[in-house]
Amino acid sequence: MTTPTAAGPVLRVPPASPAEAAAYFRASLAFHADVSDVAAALATGGDPGFVVMDSRSTEAWDQGHVPGALHLPTALVPEQAERLLDKAVPVVTYCWGPGCNGATRAALALAERGYRVKEMLGGFEYWVREGFAYETWQGREHRAPDPLTAPTGAGDCGC
């Protein structure tokens, strides 16, 4: 085993202890779901046990959204969440993609109002890039998976 030296920025701050790392990653899984897991849960055809919420604008929603998702823009959460969502059902929020924190802001707004919530990592961008069907005002659409984001020729990535 090699001992880390002052050789570079990766180990300039040493890794957390295994117990701290386990606690952090366990907590991360309580706050996040990935696109593939959400798609797999929705594909069963039954009640997945959660509702998917698109927190983007109406214009963005019209460009495409996860089939079956509820549209509730982040700015409207305070006035419309109680009318549209059941606090007994967990909510999975998403926005555009990893470069956008809209889903995080929507999740915060919901959590502050008593909802159990997770954020879908990758957002709508990765939903489309991984090859899952999406809906627009014109109907259902689908793009081929991007080989940089989804396995091609395999059922899943093995993770």
5 pLDDT band (50/70/90 cuts)?
low
| 124 assigned to some structural domain | yes
Residues in the chain: 159
- 132 contacts 39 by C-beta, under 8 angstroms: yes
Yes or no: say if 57 and 84 are a contact pair by the CB < 8 Å rule: no
Q: Sorting pLDDT into bands at 50, 70 and 90, what band is 8?
A: confident
Residue 158 belongs to a domain: no
**147 is a domain residue:** no
Report yes or no on 23 lying in a domain: no
Cα(122)–Cα(23) distance, rounded to whole angstroms? 23
Q: Can you give the residue range of the structural domain that contains 97?
A: 32-141
Sole residue written with tokens 């959400």? 38
- Residue 50 falls inside a structural domain: yes
CB 7 within 8 A of CB 13: no
pLDDT per position as a tens digit, 52-82: 999 999 999 999 999 999 999 999 999 999 9
Q: Which of 56, 76, 75 is nearest to 65 (CA)?
A: 56
30-39, 45-54, 146-155: least confident range:
146-155
Residue 39, domain CATH: 3.40.250.10
In a domain, 65, yes or no: yes
DSSP 74-116: GGGHHHHHHHH--TTS-EEEE-S-TT--HHHHHHHHHHTTT--
Q: Is there a domain that residue 154 lies in?
A: no
- In this predicted structure, the answer to whether residue 42 has a pLDDT above a threshold of 60 is yes
CA 115, CA 99: separation in Å to the nearest integer? 24
How much is the pTM? 0.89
Instruction: Give me the number of domains the chain comprises.
Output: 1
Asked if the structure places residue 42 within a domain, the reply is yes
